[in-house]
Amino acid sequence: MPRKLIPKPIHLGETATAWIKFTILWTVTLRGLDYLSGVTGPVASLGVVERAAPLWLWGAILLASCVVAVSGTFSGMRSLLIVGHLAAGLTMMALGFGQLLVVVGPDGISGYRTGAGIMGGGILHMVIAFSAWSQVIVEKMVADDATS
């Protein structure tokens, strides 16, 4: 029998999964609202990626991704859930990577926690999107088997 990556994995269940989704969507919503709040002028702590576009645009992307993911969750349309979490995940990973680029210098890395944390949230969104996508594939395979 093949060795498992995690010998005794836990199965989170619906309640824990709902809280995880709520938490990561809440953090993206707060970041989106923060970006839309009207910060003006140069901000030294902004990452390379954040400075690549107006902050209101990042805020709009993050809030739109949350609306799409939440709509998909409550409507049962997994395609919306997947697209919303995928958009949030890719955006957060890009923003986190941009933060990491700011703290890398000739003396090494100093202050990497913010970028790493933002990227971690992005990865969680990607995991949710991939999990939902894989469930769609499995359900389609089961339906195809049932009709053949």
- Dihedral of the CA atoms 29, 32, 37, 42 (nearest 10)? 150
**CA 11 to CA 25: how far, in whole Å?**
21
Task: Answer yes or no: are the C-beta atoms of 31 and 93 closer than 8 Å.
Answer: no
pLDDT of residue 40: 61
pLDDT of residue 99: 86
pLDDT of residue 44: 56
Beta carbons within 10 angstroms of residue 137's beta carbon: 9
pLDDT of residue 122: 95
DSSP conformation letters of the chain: -PPPSSSS----HHHHHHHHHHHHHHHHHHHHHHHHT---S--TT--HHHHTS-HHHHHHHHHHHHHHHHHHHHH--HHHHHHHHHHHHHHHHHHHHHHHHHHEETTEE-S-HHHHHHHHHHHHHHHHHHHHHHHHHHHHHHHHHHH-
Nearest to 62, CA basis, from 22, 101, 40, 35:
35
Consecutive 10-residue runs of the chain (148 residues): their mean pLDDT?
A: 72 87 93 83 68 89 96 92 97 91 75 87 95 89 76
pTM of the entire predicted model:
0.82
